[in-house]
Structures are given as C-alpha cells and as structure tokens.
Chains A and B, each alone.
Chain A
Amino acid sequence: MSDIILQIDGKEVAAKPGMTVFEAAQSAGIAIPTLCHHEKLAPYGACRICTVEADAGGRTSFVAACLYPAEKGLVVRTRTEQVNRMRKVLLEQMLSHAPDSEDLLELAGEYGADPHRFEKEPSFCILCGLCVRYCAEVKQKHAVSFFDRGAKREINFIPEIAVKECWDCKECFPLCPTSALQAAYVLTESLLTPPEEPSSCGGCSSRG
C-alpha cells in the first residue's frame, strides 16, 4: 500500500493507511501531547489535549489527533495560538479535578495554565479511561469500570473481580495520569478485607 502524504507543521510526512494524525506526527518526530492515548489501546478521545488544527476539504477545524485519520493532502498545525489556548483551558479544568497530578502540572507549565483558575473539585480522576480500557482490552479482566454519568461519572472496581485479579496485576496503576486509580483500589481493598474480628467478645456472654 502506498503512503499517504500529509503536511504537519509545514513538514511533509508520509503515513501508512490507517494511521492517525498523532501516529503520523510521532513517526516524523513531531510531539503532540496526549493523556488518554496508549499505543496498545483503541483510540478513545477523552481528554482532547491532543487537539490540533487541520485543514481538510477547504475547511479548518480542530480535531483530536489521536483519533483523526491521516488523510492525503491534510494540512495539520500542532501549535497555533488557538490550539495552545485550548490546551491551556483543558489543563486548567483537569487540574481542578486532580490538582496534584504531576503529568498535568508539567503540561501546565508548558502551556502557561493556571492550576488555580477553577475552583477545586478534587475527584482526582480526569476520566481518561486508561485504567478501564487497559483492564478490558489488554488484560480482559474487566475489573474496573465507569459508573454513573455526567458530572457524577467515576471509576470503580468491581469488588468480586478485583479481589481475584488485581492484587497480582496492578498494571493499570502506572498508566493513571493522576493518583485516583490507586486510591480507588486501596479503598476497594480496605472494604474487601473484613475488620479483624475480636477473638472473644465477652459482651453478651458475660451478661448471661
């Protein structure tokens, strides 16, 4: 199959059919930030931090590079003023949920995002879905999942599965861009371990 030629940041880039803009850029050594992307997982497009400007079919639009297919003649700009501004706001919003995330703080420095711009709502999770998808797609254990929707959406472990599978795996921990996952696991674990039974109570028996 012949290569697709597209332009990224003024550079001609050759991509294989089926590649995304992100993959094409990566192969040409052009960095696009990502948070919810993982090479072993199907593209998901949750965080939008990889947003780039793309001209296709006479129109300019903002697309998620990790999802958008590389097309012939596509013209992509990865660092325009508008793109930078979008990333900055996205980071500020995510930081209101996960104020201590090192990954986010590092990007915030790069894009001049103010971590304190929005009121803190520490859910500690930015719903990138890396843990959920890794467990389902790679490990096929389905131990962790999204619950609820909208503003209440959150990740949780299915205790019955977690108790069997997670202890020896924990491969999702390092994927999490915040520390929410670990916290959720620790919580699940503590709920699963019954509190130690006092060996003899004496309460009732002593009362006869």
Chain B
Amino acid sequence: MDIGTIDQIIDNHQSEAGSLIQVLLEIQSQNNWLPKEALTRVSERLKVPMSRIRHITTFYKTFSLVPKGRHEVHVCMGTACHVRGAERVLDTVREVTGVGPGETDPELNFSVETVNCLGCCALGPVMVVDGEYHGNVETAETAEVLKKCTCSSE
C-alpha cells in the first residue's frame, strides 16, 4: 500500500484525530492489514501518538498488524455450533488451507480465525468466508467452498 493511498484516506477524513478508527478501518479493509509505515504516516498526519495507535490496533480484533490472507475464514466455535460439529469444520478448514486459528498461510491465501457465536446458531455449524455465511456445513461442502476461493484467486 503506497503512501499516496494512505494520504488520500486521511484527506477524506480531514486529517482529524477523531477519525483515527475510521482511517485505520479503511486502510485495514483496502490492504487487509496495517503495515508499520502506514501507522507511522497516520500518526504523523492525524497527530495521534504512536502509543495510542498501538493501543487501539491491538485492542480491536478487526485490526491486524501482520499480513492477512486474501480470504478470511471464520469458523464459529460457539456452544450451538460446537455441539453441531464445529470441530469437524475446523479440522476440514485446517486440512484444506493448511493453517489453524490465528494463522495465515505463506502464500497469503487464507487467514483462519475462530469466533464465539455469530448470532445465527440455528444455522450451525456456521463458517463465514469473506463475509459470506455458510450454514449447516458438511465436510464436503466446507472443502468445496474453500477450494473455490483458491481457484478464483489464481
């Protein structure tokens, strides 16, 4: 992500310190993660101390300070999904993507996270891939959804 794009985002928010979280969210969504250079730039332009930016970016789970994969996979481990076989879903995800919760594969294809209830327990076990909900997922379906991702990105 180049400095110009970051500056553009900051300009859209009139370089206001109060827009810090909005600015960070936009960088995160365009770039998938927050590189250090981006944070330094934001700190300079919004006049917010780096310590505060670090505090905020490590507090909210939305922000990532390490590179993230192109596809985000969230597997629900909430109680309802758990009893309906979330563990099996996670195993399949691990098998297909090669990474477990909190990890990203070296080709930056997938980042896997677990969540505790997505608020749609009736659909359990639930897996969300790039914002799309997949309810009642069976092993075969889980694998299929993920494989589709790798195909489309190549």
Inter-chain residue pair count (beta carbon < 8 A) = 29
Determine whether the beta carbon of A146 is less than 8 Å from that of B49.
Answer: no
Interface size on A, residues (CB 8 A): 15
Measured as residues with beta carbon below 8 angstroms from the partner, the interface class of chain B is: under 10
**Shortest beta-carbon distance, A93 to chain B, in Å?**
22
Q: Who on chain A is nearest to B60 by CB?
A: A149
Complex CA–CA separation, A156 to B50 (angstroms):
12
Determine whether the beta carbon of A158 is less than 8 Å from that of B59.
Answer: no
Complex CA–CA separation, A147 to B52 (angstroms):
9
Complex CA–CA separation, A172 to B68 (angstroms):
36
Determine whether the beta carbon of A142 is less than 8 Å from that of B59.
Answer: no
CB contact between A149 and one of B49, B51, B52, B59 (< 8 Å): that residue = B59
Complex CA–CA separation, A144 to B49 (angstroms):
11
Q: Is A196 an interface residue (CB 8 A)?
A: no
Determine whether the beta carbon of B54 is less than 8 Å from that of A145.
Answer: yes
Q: Which residues from A are CB-within-8-Å of B49?
A: 136, 142
**Shortest beta-carbon distance, A129 to chain B, in Å?**
11
Q: Is B148 an interface residue (CB 8 A)?
A: no
Complex CA–CA separation, A132 to B58 (angstroms):
16
Per-position binary interface string of chain B over residues 40-57, scored 1 when its CB falls under 8 Å from any chain A CB and 0 otherwise: 000000000111101100
Complex CA–CA separation, A143 to B52 (angstroms):
10
